[in-house]
Amino acid sequence: MIDPIEQAKSYIEQVHTGSILTCKPVQMAVNRHLNDLETGHERGLYFDEDAAYIALSFFPLLSHSKGKWAGKPFILSDWQAFFVYCLFGWKRSDGTRRFRIAYAEIARKNGKSTFAAAIGLYMLIADGEAGAEVYTAATTRDQAKICFTEARNMALKSAPLRKKATVLTHNIHVLSTASKMEALSSDYNTLDGPNPHCVILDEIHAYKTSGLYDIFISAVGARDQPLILMITTAGFNQEWFCFQQRKYGLQVLEGTLNDDELMVMIFTLDEEDEWTDERLWVKANPNLGESPSWTYLRGRIHTAKQKPAEQYNVKTKNLNLWVDAPKVWIDSDKWNECTGDVDEIELEGQTCYAGLDLATKGDFNAWIKLFPLEDGCFKLLCTFWIPEDSVQKHVDNGLKQLPEWIDSGLVKATPGNYVDYKAILEDILADFERFDIVSAAKDPWNSAWMYQELNEKLQPGYRDGKPVDRISDFAQTIKNMTSPTVYLEDLVDEKKLIHDGNPVMAWMMRNVVLEYLGKEVEDLISGKPQQARKPSKMKSSKKIDGPVAAVMALGEYLTWNWQGDNDGESQYENQTLFSF
């Protein structure tokens, strides 16, 4: 059997020299280790190879519990040896472990739950901690039990562990040290009392907020060298806790942030990689060939090629890529590719069309302006408001970025807990002075008072020589929304919609799915049948006010400008505005 220290060092060398194919985050993790060997002493860090060896030597004492490996010793793969080598080898000047938090992200079927369970058993039995409490936790008790059950089964099949520990159905305990390992419910409001030495947070991509993590961060304070191990596959929601941890971890690996307590290892495809290139799959699946097998992974990729709707799941779970949720309206990459130069000052006095989506209580309000250009492109500007007293509610629900958006002026916080229509009115009137807003669309169901105030204060517009209101009702029905929705999709596909990369709008775009009506309607642009559709959040609490307002603004533009094929007449001619 290979010496585990040499195994870990060999992996480091292979990654560092590029002799094995790995993703950039793995390369950064190895480089961080090598750099710290050179400079870590300046921060009171040192590497204890003896401690690393003790930890590495524990794993072969365990026995696998299922599949073709059942009953065989747990032999660490190369990446696992490196992970354990770093996790348990790095020390602080006081002799305690350096890393108190570890984040590991890897594609499904690479044995992450088994690996996490084995680390949990080490922390329970071999870490030298009296009264050690080791917990597995997840968003559901069933998920938490997966890791615990694997630990239990390995302990039952491992003779050395059976001599040390008593293995019960819901508990593993060591009487000689008064230590225990259990699975915990995700109901963190009831978790007062634990004094954990180690916590394994499994599949944290499903954690909407940091609530469970925060409970354990507070709880480990009484331990000298605790460990919180987060292990997961990628998820869909980039506003939830896991992606924020991933983002932070990458900044630590890059060196833009310093956090000596955090260890990070992420296996994924790199941004420039083609997901169908099987030569690259090993980047996200370092155990490829053993688990998962080539047959399994090739089958999953083949399915994704044949069924585009399955691509989201395969990319996320089998290639560990963070992608938008299924049925997402416009892919984030396509939206981001439309980022360009949008200078508000240069747009002053320019013709534009606007859409206004208002809330009735403590929620987002959106005002979107679209500026048509001579080359057929559009530039887009966003304004968002939110009642100040509702900010904390949104933060508690997972929108941690909101205070930062407010501080940077991307969202305007208005006083109180309800929509401040007067403040919004003042901003809109200022925009009518600043830009040549031909007309603006609003939802007729909200704020008749504002509709009246705006039209009283604004000079009328003229259409076909007749005066018309500058603010028009736009009912957000599928029938009304279909044509501008399709047009907006086409503009993004053709990179003819130019926006400034506003992160609030990008977040809302990721929240949009398409709601389809079970029939076709005539597209008022092409005259061809189109599946009736509109942006929707499908009864979720996600916010899509900006995209909805953008569709309304584009609908307003079409109403005033589009000339169809009916002898040069507008296809909107002789119709009430937005009664499509």
Taking only the tens place, the pLDDT of each residue in 497-546 is 999 999 999 999 999 887 765 445 666 666 665 656 788 876 567 899 99
CB atoms within 10 A of CB 263: 25
Mean pLDDT score of the chain: 87
Q: Which CATH number is 4-268 given?
A: 3.40.50.300
**Residue 87 CA from chain centroid, whole number:** 26
Q: How many residues does the chain have?
A: 580
| pLDDT one-digit tens code per residue, 442-485 | 887 766 777 778 878 887 766 666 666 778 888 877 778 888 99
Q: Examine the pLDDT at 13 and tell me if it is beyond 90.
A: yes
Task: State the Cα–Cα distance between residues 180 and 168, nearest whole angstrom.
Answer: 11
- Residue 254, token pair as written in the block: 């890059």
Pair 93, 16: CB distance under 8 Å: no
| pLDDT one-digit tens code per residue, 232-247 | 999 877 888 999 999 9
pLDDT at 578: 26
| pLDDT one-digit tens code per residue, 391-430 | 999 998 889 899 999 999 999 999 988 888 899 999 999 9
Pair 214, 398: CB distance under 8 Å: no
Non-local CB neighbours of 158 within 8 Å, separated by 6+ positions: 61, 62, 63
Pair 386, 364: CB distance under 8 Å: yes
- The residue ranking higher by pLDDT, 300 or 190, is 300
- Run of H or E including 166: strand 166-167
pLDDT at 509: 94
- The residue ranking higher by pLDDT, 202 or 139, is 202
Non-local CB neighbours of 417 within 8 Å, separated by 6+ positions: 361, 362, 387, 388, 389, 390
| pLDDT one-digit tens code per residue, 109-137 | 999 999 999 999 999 999 999 999 999 99
**Residue 481 CA from chain centroid, whole number:** 28
> Widest CA span of the chain, in angstroms?
94
- Residue 483, token pair as written in the block: 């044509």
CATH architecture of 341-561: 2-Layer Sandwich (3.30)
Structural domain spans, the chain: 4-268, 341-561
Per-residue pLDDT band for 17 (boundaries 50, 70, 90) equals very high
